[in-house]
Amino acid sequence: MPSTAATTHPTRRDHGGNLAEAVARFGGRIEDWLDLSTGINPHAYPLGPIPPRAFQALPDAGRLADLCAVARKTYGATGGDIVAAPGAQALIELLPAYLPRLPVSIAAPTYNEHAAAFHAHGFEVAEQVTPTGPIRVIVNPNNPDGRVWSRDEVQGWLDEGVFVIVDESFADPTPETSLASLSGHPRLIILRSFGKFFGLAGLRLGFALGPLGVIEPLRRALGLWAVSGPAIEAGIQGLSDTDWQADMRGQLAGARDTLSHQLRSIGCEIIGQTHLFVTIRHPQAAALHAHLAQHQIWTRAFPYAKDWLRFGLPGAGAKRLFSKLQSYSPAK
């Protein structure tokens, strides 16, 4: 486990989905690659027809309000306000400007853009296993280790007067882990991502739930027509389709379990998982990463933990992945 001490902000942040790097290092064409470096559902939501007007006219304020209403209902938000944005990442970058200038503690290891955003706004930032500052940031479930924070623990922080930002980008498959029922609290901001669970990351759609005093400035900062008409329509379709969501949760759980079994069979230790990814420890993780890359399968390596790899769900590429896992021969 990485150190609990405060860490310095890196000058270059690494992410999954960096297939251009994979091609540059190992060759092939982007379309040849099986990209498992992100936690995006490989079974995209089957969108119905999008009205031509959604493409031809400026985004409609009424339809945006409909989208926010269905999002509140789907997420179980009981209070506060909501704003839609072109992805949760846009909200992560904007949010620090509308928080008090207090020390920030981020539960680590986690998605590195949270620290980057606070650093960019001039905050004092510490990254710790358990956050302790007056502003605390958690990812719930966490990326990359799947850690889940209890409602009681977060409620305790709020009762102490702490500001809490909760990134729930991976919460859709396990709604019982969500803290959205606390969303009316004046010091709680919750971020949600549409694209991961619905497999439509290219649409760029996310939401922030929180107090009016934070959400309204975010809305002004995002400006007019921040969310495209097609994204609004897709969001309404997907978030309203509770039957698809329930069926997909079961499908993802089964696929995750199968992937975990395959990884254990070659000596990997499962150190964390959600319905959308499995993170492993292996003494030769770098060699395994390279072996798979030589077969155009891209996994997520971590500069701060050289023996970790993260695998997204392979979807239709499962047979290909499992074959190459079984052909891996560790160096003696």
Which residue ranges does the chain devote to CATH 3.90.1150.10? 19-43+244-326
Q: Is the pLDDT of residue 29 over 90?
A: yes
The tens digit of pLDDT for each residue in 92-123 reads 999 999 999 999 999 999 999 999 999 999 99
pLDDT tens track for 42-93:
999 999 999 999 999 999 999 999 999 999 999 999 899 999 999 999 999 9
**91 within 8 A of 206, measured Cβ to Cβ:** yes
Mean pLDDT in residue range 185-213: 97
- Beta-carbon count within 10 A of 28 CB: 14
CATH of domain 19-43+244-326: 3.90.1150.10
Average pLDDT over the chain reads 94
Residue 5: pLDDT over 80: no
Nearest to 166 by CA among 202, 137, 195: 137
- pLDDT, tens only, 12-26: 467 888 899 999 999
What pLDDT does 15 receive?
80
Instruction: Please give the average per-residue pLDDT across 133-161, as a whole number.
Output: 97
- In this prediction, residue 12 carries a pLDDT of 47
* 3-state secondary structure at position 159: helix
pLDDT single digits (tens) 280-316: 999 999 999 999 999 999 999 999 999 999 999 999 9
Q: What angle do CA 28, 31, 37 make, to 5 degrees?
A: 90
* CA separation, residue 79 to residues 82, 186, 259 (Å): 9, 10, 38
CATH of 57-241, one of 3.40.50.300, 3.40.1190.20, 3.40.640.10, 3.40.630.40: 3.40.640.10
Question: Which residues belong to CATH 3.40.640.10 in the chain?
Answer: 57-241
